[in-house]
Amino acid sequence: MANYELHITSPFPPSVNHYMGHRAILKNGKPIDVPYKTADAVFFCRDFSKIVKDAVAEQGWDVPLDGSKHVYVDGVFYFPRKRMDCNNYWKVLLDTISKTQVVWKDDDTVCERAQGIYFDTQNPRIELTIHPVEYIGVFANENEYEDFKLHCSSCTRSGRNCSIFNKAMEGRIQPEIHDGICEKYTEKKG
């Protein structure tokens, strides 16, 4: 049975400030900056990747990975101490999940949201809940999308791979669409 909600508990990752290191090398006699993952980041990514893959297998996560559907990632942060910023931890988490290629293809489809911040010195962690968004392209929900699609099917442009519809599905805002109506609509004859 397909599951459209995934729960993952992450150990505390390195912050974005400790995710990448930098070294200078000479190229053609000029110094250039070469970023690299820190040792802490490498170990975290290895361990967390396994946690992600195990969670997907155990929970039956089954959302298309084609990049057409965005997902919410809701995070509840249990910091080991005060004065920590949850925004500094999303990058490592999302990059690692992307690298597994089992939850989504790329984190450009992710809408991350902090849902709570607590402090737990004994068991710092981040509890993630991942689920698809309600919207489809520029349409607020599936009903709005289906209504627009049905109306489009009687348009002269619908059989010709309509660029307006395709862009709307990509989430592109267009002046041709107002309040769910396409101003370029022309009804098919006959």
pLDDT tens, position by position, 10-65: 999 999 888 888 888 888 989 999 888 899 999 999 999 999 999 999 999 988 77
Domain that holds residue 98: 6-132
Backbone phi and psi for residue 128, each to the nearest 5 degrees, phi listed first: -105, 140
Taking alpha carbons only, the member of 75, 78, 72, 79 closest to residue 115 is 75
98 with 146, same domain?
Answer: no
Q: Look up the pTM and report it.
A: 0.83
Q: Which of helix, strand or coil describes residue 48?
A: helix
22 with 97, same domain?
Answer: yes
96 with 167, same domain?
Answer: no
Backbone phi and psi for residue 154, each to the nearest 5 degrees, phi listed first: -100, 15
The total number of structural domains that make up the chain: 2
Note whether residue 189 is domain-resident.
no
